[in-house]
Structure 1
Amino acid sequence: MSKPFDMELFLAGVLTGSHATRQRHLRQAKIIQAEIAERWQLQTPWAWQKKHVAWFLEHSLNQRSDSTRYYYFLTVRLLARRLQKTWCFNH
């Protein structure tokens, strides 16, 4: 039996800002994780590649407002920093 992935623990080292900002990043990271897990069965960010995150940004957010996409982009930057990746995305 394996434990579910703890996104809060995963991002703990890179989360900064107010309580509301940290909660928003956690909520959005969990949404990103759920969408990627549903599409590719990759349960943890350690298994993600740039193409998975790019897919999320392009397909899951294409009907969202510019501000929503920007906030998700900020969350993706935190995830990339935590994974020590140099991913760059156009927003």
Structure 2
Amino acid sequence: MSKSFDMELFLAGVLIGSHATRQRHVHQAKIIQVAIAERWQRKNPWTWQKKHLVWFLENRLREHSHATHYYYLLTIRLLARRLETSWVFKL
């Protein structure tokens, strides 16, 4: 039996801001994680590539508002920082 990946622990080192902001980032990161796991069967962020996060922004958020895109983009930038990559994401 495999243990589920703890996204809150994964992001703990890069999360800043108020409690509500930190909770929003964790919640959104879990949504991103589920979407990528469904599409590519990659449950662990360490196995993600930039294309997976770009796909999420471009396809899963297609029907959402500009503000929603922005908040998810902030979360994705935190994920990239935690993964210690040089990936750049734009709106």
TM-score by length of structure 2 reads: 0.98
1:85 maps to 2:85? yes
The Cα RMSD (Å) is 0.6
Which runs of 5 or more residues in structure 2 are unaligned?
A: none
SS of corresponding position for 2:29: helix
1:52 is matched with 52
1:10 is matched with 10
Superposed structure 1 runs of 4+ greater than 3 Å apart: none
TM-score by length of structure 1 reads: 0.98
Residues in 2 aligned to 1:16 and 1:33: alpha-carbon distance in whole angstroms: 20
Residues in 2 aligned to 1:56 and 1:24: alpha-carbon distance in whole angstroms: 17
Residues in 2 aligned to 1:62 and 1:72: alpha-carbon distance in whole angstroms: 12
Residues in 2 aligned to 1:35 and 1:2: alpha-carbon distance in whole angstroms: 19
1:63 is matched with 63
1:72 is matched with 72
Identity %: 69
AA matched with 1:74: L
Residues in 1 aligned to 2:73 and 2:86: alpha-carbon distance in whole angstroms: 14
Residues in 1 aligned to 2:59 and 2:22: alpha-carbon distance in whole angstroms: 24
AA matched with 1:68: T
SS of corresponding position for 1:52: helix
Residues in 2 aligned to 1:63 and 1:86: alpha-carbon distance in whole angstroms: 28
Residues in 2 aligned to 1:17 and 1:75: alpha-carbon distance in whole angstroms: 12
